[in-house]
Amino acid sequence: MADRYLHWTHTGPGRFLTRRLGLPRPERLHRWSAERPTLEGGPLLHLATAHARDEKELAAVLDGCGVPVVRALAEGSGTPCAVVVDATGIGAVPELRGIHELLHPVVRALAPCGRVVVLGAAPSPDDHHQAAAQQALEGFVRSLAKELRRGSTAQLVRLAPGTAPGAAASTLRFLLSPRSAFVSGQVIEVGAGEESGTAGGRARTALVTGAARGIGAQVAGTLAAGGARVLCLDVPQAGGDLEQVAARVGGTALPLDITASDAGARIADALPAGGLDVLVHNAGITRDRKLANMPSERWDPVLDVNLGGVLRTTDHLLAAGALRGARVVATASIAGIAGNMGQTNYAASKAGIIGLVRSLAPRARAEHGTTVNAVAPGFIETRMTAAVPFLVREAGRRMNSLSQGGLPVDVAETVAWLAAPESGAVNGQVVRVCGQSLLGA
């Protein structure tokens, strides 16, 4: 369903009334397209505090983002499309003044749909002054993201100890591109990791569950557009839609109930000899009702589809050696972070996904060379949200810093970044795709 309010606010009467009444006026977000593949408005401004580290390597990474990079705004050079601040060397509270000194003069000049990215270091367990200063950056960035207007976003990228800026290349390219339009206020930790997956010279193989419609169908299409051969999995009852999606993306339909006891084995049998390079756990259902009115018949299926099936199939594929060097991306939800009335079952299942990611990620990396991450969508415009009552739907759209709902492509682009061969340094992360929802952390 179209966001009529967003459209109205860009008409003459809408602009007038939103200004007079102080109503939100959502920006039309610049999302990636072949015609507009990079940020627009001016150069990328690369700034550094007095205590920054590895500036040359970071400069080389930023040069690969597709827009001109400058160290200062010259008169007449236009507004910056993005500002990147290197704060990796900040180790004491007085040094935080450097962040203010660098961003205060330029943040108002940011182009529409611009980006602010602060590069920080992981807080040290052995130096509480450094830990305090680096943790302060999180509060700063999350607050700045709520202050920015006209579709702009802000993120914090933390480098693990001993990690050079080059390890964050794929993350910075994603965050400094239109592909990250609905991602804001996030803290992403980057560590050491292999860049390439298992594909070698062949086409990568991806499996997307819940692929018959909505977000899953978009994920399948986005991965296919990136060159992957996609196995599209969904329940047999969705066979018609599943076949259409598979045909559209040049993939293969795999009608299968993910909760079946032999689901893992049947998936393994359907894989090519090289196994999977990408596994996207997107299948999910809702059976909403307050706990006092929720029988077990509404509890059990949600936990089994959204969480139990994910655990069982992942375990089986890991044990079968089908995920060596792969990228596993699961779908959580802001409901699993903040909770949601009438969704104790759904929120429990999505919080469980977060627990799975945090626990499995370091072991999967060590034992299989596999990364495990999750996306946590907020209000995304799908057939499901179109059926939500009008007032609830409007609240969901406006209760984020971008004052609008996201699109399935926003989730798909985030999945594609986490699934990329060069994203091996990103592991154990839960990235919210919610326009910085006001719900939860």
Residue 384: per-residue pLDDT: 77
**Is the pLDDT reported for residue 196 higher than 60?**
no
* Structure tokens, 41: 């408005």
Other Cβ atoms less than 10 A from the Cβ of 304: the count is: 17
Q: What percent of the chain has pLDDT over 90?
A: 83
Residue 390: per-residue pLDDT: 78
Mean pLDDT of 66-82: 85
**Is the pLDDT reported for residue 198 higher than 60?**
no
Mean pLDDT of 315-332: 97
**Is the pLDDT reported for residue 50 higher than 90?**
no
Mean pLDDT of 175-182: 98
* Least confident span in 30-34, 189-193, 286-290, 422-426: 189-193
Q: Is 57 helix (H, G, I), strand (E, B) or coil?
A: helix
Residue 423: per-residue pLDDT: 97
**Is the pLDDT reported for residue 441 higher than 60?**
no
* Least confident span in 15-19, 199-203, 267-271: 199-203
The band of 24, judged by pLDDT with boundaries at 50, 70 and 90, is: confident
**Cα gap 280→310, rounded to integer Å:** 10
Residue 100: per-residue pLDDT: 97
Second CATH level (architecture) for the domain 42-190? 3-Layer(aba) Sandwich (3.40)
Mean pLDDT of 336-361: 96
Long-range pairs, 6-13, Cβ under 8 A, ≥24: 6/404
**Is the pLDDT reported for residue 163 higher than 80?**
yes
* Least confident span in 155-169, 193-207, 256-270, 293-307: 193-207
Residue 201: per-residue pLDDT: 61
Contacts (Cβ under 8 Å, ≥6 apart) of 95: 49, 50, 51, 133
Could you say which of 174, 182, 299, 346 is catalytic?
346
Residue 21: per-residue pLDDT: 87
- Asked if domains 42-190 and 205-433 share a fold, the reply is yes
Mean pLDDT of 316-327: 97
Residue 2: per-residue pLDDT: 79
Mean pLDDT of 404-425: 97
The band of 200, judged by pLDDT with boundaries at 50, 70 and 90, is: low
pLDDT in tens, 110-130: 999 999 999 999 999 999 999
Residue 193: per-residue pLDDT: 66
Residue 287: CA count within 13 A, CB half-sphere:
18
Under 8 Å between Cβ of 93 and 132? yes
Mean pLDDT of 426-439: 95
pLDDT in tens, 52-71: 777 889 999 999 999 999 99
Mean pLDDT of 136-144: 98
**Is the pLDDT reported for residue 76 higher than 90?**
no
Report strand pairing: 278-281 vs 371-377.
unpaired
**Is the pLDDT reported for residue 206 higher than 90?**
yes
Kindly report the CATH number that applies to the domain delimited by 205-433. Answer: 3.40.50.720
pLDDT in tens, 85-95: 999 999 999 99
5 labelled catalytic? no
Q: What is the mean pLDDT of the chain?
A: 93
The band of 3, judged by pLDDT with boundaries at 50, 70 and 90, is: confident
Higher model confidence: residue 20 or residue 209?
209
Question: In which residue are the tokens 């739907």 written?
Answer: 393
Would the CA dihedral through 381, 384, 387, 388 be positive or negative? Answer: negative
**Is the pLDDT reported for residue 388 higher than 90?**
no
Residue 312: per-residue pLDDT: 97
**Cα gap 118→102, rounded to integer Å:** 11
The band of 368, judged by pLDDT with boundaries at 50, 70 and 90, is: very high
Q: What percent of the chain has pLDDT over 70?
A: 97
43, with CB counted inside 10 A (0-12, 13-18, 19+), is buried
Residue 192: per-residue pLDDT: 77
**Is the pLDDT reported for residue 231 higher than 90?**
yes
Residue 331: CA count within 13 A, CB half-sphere:
26
Show me where the domains of the chain are located. 42-190, 205-433
